[in-house]
Amino acid sequence: MKAAVLYEVNRPLAVEEIELDPPKAGEVRVRIAAAGICRSDLHFMKGEAKLKLPSVLGHEGSAIVEEAGPGVSSVKPGDHGILCFVPNCGRCRFCLTGRSNLCDAHARTGANLFDGTTRLHKGAQRISHMGKVACFAQQAVVPETGCIPIPADVPMPQAALIGCCVTTGVGAAMFSADLRPGSTAAVVGCGGVGLNIIQGAKLLGASKIIAVDINEARLEFARKFGATDFVNPKDQDPVARIRELTDGQGADYTFEAFGSAETAELAYTAARKGGTVVIAGIAPVGDRAAVDLVNLVRDEKTLKGTYYGSARPTVDMHTMLDLYLRGKLDLDDLVGRQYRLEDINEAFADLERGYPGRGLITAF
């Protein structure tokens, strides 16, 4: 089958024929319908994040089940599903305490399947599966808990977006921040994740949602999703402007959705006394942000990370889907440019250029 393989960092993805072994126990083989272009893939391509190479990237996807391995009971051939980059083992401490986004068995096996091996290879060379998804390919073998069944009439690009940026962004506002109605929020970075934090904050009743981005087109695009005020750090001191917009206080909730020490410090500083700072962006490995510890204590700020929106994907992806189907979340406008798998490197160039809307591979 055809797949986009990352062999080395800072090299284009190679779109080529590789082999996919059949599913083992508890796994399914799926045909990919749509795969979103997320900055997390780009971090691996640039070496800002590490995984075992070569690897098939792609972790935001939707697919149709073609073959079920032995013992699979939650999905069957023909089912449509959202792919999940933290499939759960259902048995570890985190899975059993409602925090399956932190599943230990998944963290331990990483870009291999749960048994520690891969189904992807080219001849004798084994190829890893990013997030146990690897959806920049015509097909994938994923754990059955990594394919969440959905009704067949849900459009597949929108379903794919629930696989990462929607659940991550809306979840960051809903589950990580537990944002209260009437509060103020500032969101640093208005890409796929940031736009979903913005629409999550709107859904939860934020009174003011300040979009912060260095890209004017992306700032303007954020208006559609509920942003009420716009700050470009290139034009003005962003912290001073956020304070000005919040009666000199700072925002009740601030979110970081780019991935750098600089933007994390901005989010931290822009939160008010007693405010909550949620970091969603993945900064380059080794990066450290400076936090004024006296300020942390005296201002009683809460600083927290959010992974997969602190969601329980199997349950909460259905919540996201219901909110979309009832018109409470706008996933239609989120769908940006659509590409063929052959043009995947152009899709990542567009992500770097900051083209508004989430790019997706929809032709394999």
Ligand X SMILES: NC(=O)c1ccc[n+]([C@@H]2O[C@H](COP(=O)([O-])OP(=O)(O)OC[C@H]3O[C@@H](n4cnc5c(N)ncnc54)[C@H](O)[C@@H]3O)[C@@H](O)[C@H]2O)c1
Residues 219-238 that bind ligand X (CB under 6 A): 233
Q: Which of 95, 135, 147, 164 is catalytic?
A: 164
Q: 93 vs 234, which CB is nearer to ligand X?
A: 234
Task: Say how far apart CA 224 and CA 218 lie, in whole Å.
Answer: 11
Which part of the chain contacts ligand X (CB under 6 A), choosing from 16-24, 61-69, 89-97, 212-220? 212-220
Which partner from the list Zn ion, ligand X, none does 193 bind, CB cut-off 5 to 8 Å by kind?
ligand X
**217 near ligand X, rule: CB under 6 A:** no
**212 near Zn ion, rule: CB under 5 A:** no
184: which strand partners?
208
61: which strand partners?
35
* Binding string, residues 36-55; x marks residues near ligand X by CB under 6 A: --xxx--x------------
Q: 66 vs 104, which CB is nearer to ligand X?
A: 104
Give residues with Cβ within 8 angstroms of 244, minimum separation 6. Answer: none
Which part of the chain contacts ligand X (CB under 6 A), choosing from 27-35, 183-191, 293-301, 313-321? 183-191
Q: 143 vs 259, which CB is nearer to ligand X?
A: 259
Rounded to 10 degrees, the C-alpha dihedral 157/362/121/74 comes to 30
Is residue 103 annotated as part of the catalytic site, yes or no? Answer: no
Is residue 43 annotated as part of the catalytic site, yes or no? Answer: yes
Which partner from the list Zn ion, ligand X, none does 362 bind, CB cut-off 5 to 8 Å by kind?
none
Residues 85-144 that bind Zn ion (CB under 5 A): 88-89, 92, 95, 103, 105
**38 near Zn ion, rule: CB under 5 A:** yes
Which partner from the list ligand X, Zn ion, none does 320 bind, CB cut-off 5 to 8 Å by kind?
none
**308 near ligand X, rule: CB under 6 A:** yes
Which partner from the list Zn ion, ligand X, none does 103 bind, CB cut-off 5 to 8 Å by kind?
Zn ion
The amino acid at residue 80 is H
Is residue 59 annotated as part of the catalytic site, yes or no? Answer: yes
Is residue 62 annotated as part of the catalytic site, yes or no? Answer: no
Contact footprint for ligand X (CB under 6 A): 38-40, 43, 164-165, 168, 188-194, 212-215, 218, 233, 257-259, 262-263, 280-282, 306-308, 351, 354
> Contact residues for Zn ion (CB under 5 A)?
38, 40, 88-89, 92, 95, 103, 105, 164
